[in-house]
Structure 1
C-alpha cells in the first residue's frame, strides 16, 4: 500500500454507532403503522371476499362450498392435490387397532391407532358407553401441553374440568385424539412445533393442515363402526382444541355441532405462527371460519378471567360470527357465552347442554 493511499484511508469518515439509529427507528415505526393500516383495511377486503348467499339455509350451505375449498387450500389441505404430488398416499389398510385399557361404570376405554396415510397414523382414546348403540360420536380435543388422557381425567384433569367423561356420561362415544401439542418431557419426547410447522410449510402443507387431515381421516374410519351413528357427530375442544374444533367443523360438514372453548378472538392480537397463513387476514379470520360452520349449530365460549386470551376480543369476534346466523334467522343455533372462569372448559352445563340438544 502506498503512503498516499494510507494517508487517505486514515482520513475516512467515521461516526458514533448510534448515528443512524433514528433512521432505523423510523423504518420500524413506518412498518408498524403500515401493517396496522393494512389490518384495518382488511376488514373491507374480507367483507368483499366472504359473501355467501343468505337467501335461505340451502342457498347459504351451497354457496360456502368454494370458500371451504379456499380454506383448505390456505392450510395446505387439498388432499387430492397432496396425494397427486405423492406428499400423502392413502393408507395401505383402513382398519383401526384398538387396545382395551379399562372397563368401568361409564363403559370401555380403548387406545386406538388409526392409519390415515402411508406412514402416518392418528392416536387417541376411544371411550364407548355400555349398550348396543348406535351412539353419537363426539371428538373431544385437548389443547396446548395436553393429552387425551388428561382430558379424560385419568390422573387429574387440569383446566379441562373432566370434559371427556362429562360427554360420555351423557351417552355419547368419544374419540379424544392426540395432536402434536403435548408437554415435552412429561408426556413424551420434546419437540419444536414451530420448526415442524416451518418444515411442513416448505412442502406446501402446515402443522394445522396435516393434523386436520388426520382428524378427517380418523372420522372416515371411525364412522364405519356399526355402533356409531354417522349422522350424529359433534366436536368440542379447549384452547388449541377450540381452534381445531372450529377449523375441523368448518372443513367437514359431517361435524353436525361444534363447541369451541377459549379460542375465538381477535386474531391480529394473537398472531401465533401455527394459526397464521399467507392471506388469511383478507379472507378468513375467526368469524369467517365460523361462517363455514353455519348453518350448523355452533357454541363459542370465553372465560371472563382468561389470562391467555382477552375477553374483549372474544366478545367482538363472536358478535361478528353471530351475524351469519342472525341473517338467516337461525339465532337459536348459535351461542356465545362469556362465563365466569379462566382459561378452562366451562364447568357449567351450558356447553354440553347445547351440544347434546343438537345431536
Structure 2
C-alpha cells in the first residue's frame, strides 16, 4: 500500500513539475517567444492589411450596369457575409407578450417574443395618431455597448433621437442587446464554439420581432429604417446586407477604415487590436469586408454615416477616404444622393436633425 501511495504521489506531482521546467521564463526563452510572436503578427498584419486590396479584388465582381445587376453580382459576397455572422435558426415558439413600459413621459410597451430557450425583447413605441388608415414608418433604434433600450429616448450622447423620431411621426422599435464588454466577450466565446456569432443571434432576434411588429396595421411594413449608435452602428452595418426590409440606415459613431480600426496602431484613434474587446473580432471579417465593401451589399438602399471629429474611434480624414470609396458604389449607379456623410465637430454621438431629414427623404417622401 505504501508503494502504491508513493507511486500515485509521483504521478500527481508530474503535471506541476512539467509546468515549470528550468528553461521557462529565462531571458533567452522570453526573447525567443517575443521573436515568434512578432513574426506571427507581422505575417498576419501583412495578410490582412497590405494584401487586402489585391485579395478583395478576387472576391468582388460588381456589375454597375443597373441597381439590380449590382445586387445580383454581389450575391456570392452576401452569402459570404452571412457566413461571417453565421446567424442561427431561431423560430417563434409563442405569441408576443406586451406590457406597459413608459420611458419618462413617453408611452411605450416592453415586448417579449419567445424563440425557444431565448427571447427577443424590445421597447415598442408608436405615435398616438398612427392607425390602419394612416400607418407610419418604423425605425429600429439600436443602442450601444454602454447603454440600454431606454437610452435613445433620453438626453446625453444619444440626444433623445428615439424621442425625436416619435415626434416626427415614426414608430420606434428599440431592441435589447447584450451590453458591456465583459458580457459580450463571454457570450461571443461560446458563440464561436457553437459556429455562430452574437451579431448573428441578435440579427435573428430582430428579424423575428419585425415579423410580428410589421403585421401591426398602424405600421407601414414597406417603410422600415434603422439608426444605430456605436455598437448599434455596428449592428446597422452588419444587419442591413442580410435584412432587405430595412430600406434606409443611419450609422452613427461606427463607420470606419475597418482595417485601421481592427489592427492599426496610431495615437490619433483607438484600435481594437490591443484592447480587451474580443467580441469585436468576427472570423473572416477582413477576408473581403472592409466597411466600404460592406456598403456595396446595402446599395442601392440609402445610408447616412455620422462621425464626430472629436470621436476617438476613428481618424476622421481616413474615415472620409473610406466614405468616398463606399459612396462610389452609388455614384457609379448615378445614385450618389443615397449616401451621405455628416462630419460634425462633436464626439461619439447621434446628430438628430440631419438624421430625421434623411429618413424623411427616403421613407416618407417615397
TM-score range with shorter-chain normalisation?
0.7 to 0.9
The TM-score normalised by the length of structure 2 is 0.82
Whether 2:97 is the aligned partner of 1:97: answer yes
SS of the aligned residue for 1:180 comes to coil
Deviations, residues 91-130 of structure 1 (Å, cap 9, x unaligned): 222x322212349987x31111123x21221111111102
Q: Residue 14 and residue 326 in structure 1: after superposition, are their counterparts in 2 closer, same or farther (change >3 A)?
A: closer
Aligned to 2:145: 144
Aligned CA RMSD, in angstroms, stands at: 2.3
CA distance in structure 2 between the partners assigned to 1:276 and 1:111 by the alignment: 31
Q: Does the CA contact (< 8 Å) of 2:101 and 2:123 recur in 1?
A: no
Structure 1 pair 167–25 and aligned structure 2 pair: CA distance change class (3 A): same
What's the secondary structure of 1:196's corresponding residue? Answer: helix
Mapped partners of 1:181, 1:96: distance in 2: 23
8 A contact 2:23–2:29 mirrored in 1: no
Residue 341 to residue 16, structure 1, CA distance change in 2 (3 Å): closer
Q: In the aligned structure 2, how far is the partner of 1:201 from the partner of 1:40? A: 27
String of CA shifts for 1:52-94, please: whole Å, max 9, x gaps.
22111111122233322221111112xxxx44xxxx4x2222x
Cα distance in 2 between the residues matched to 1:127 and 1:327: 38
> What's 2:360 paired with?
356
Question: TM-score with structure 1 length normalisation?
Answer: 0.84
Matched ranges for 1:114-153 at <5 A: 114-115=113-114, 117-131=115-129, 132=131, 133-153=134-154
Change (3 A) 1:224 1:15: closer
Other-structure match for 1:236 = 227
Aligned to 2:156: 158
Which consecutive residues of structure 2, in runs of 5 or more, have no partner in the other structure? 1-21, 263-271, 273-277
Partner of 2:246: 255
Cα deviation per residue 1:15-43 (whole Å; 9 max; x = unaligned)?
99323454434323322322232121022
Q: Does 1:336 align with 2:341?
A: yes
Q: Deviations over 1:152-182 (max 9, x none)?
A: 11xxx32101110111111010001110015
Q: Which residue of 1 aligns with 2:208?
A: 217
Distance 1:252 1:320 in 2: 23
Q: Tell me the equivalent position of 1:312.
A: 317
Give, in whole Å, the separation in 2 of the partners of 1:14 and 1:229. Answer: 69
Match 1:285 to one of 290, 301, 310: 290
Equivalenced residue count is: 324
Long gaps (5+) in structure 1? 1-12, 184-190
Aligned partner of 1:58 in structure 2 is: 68
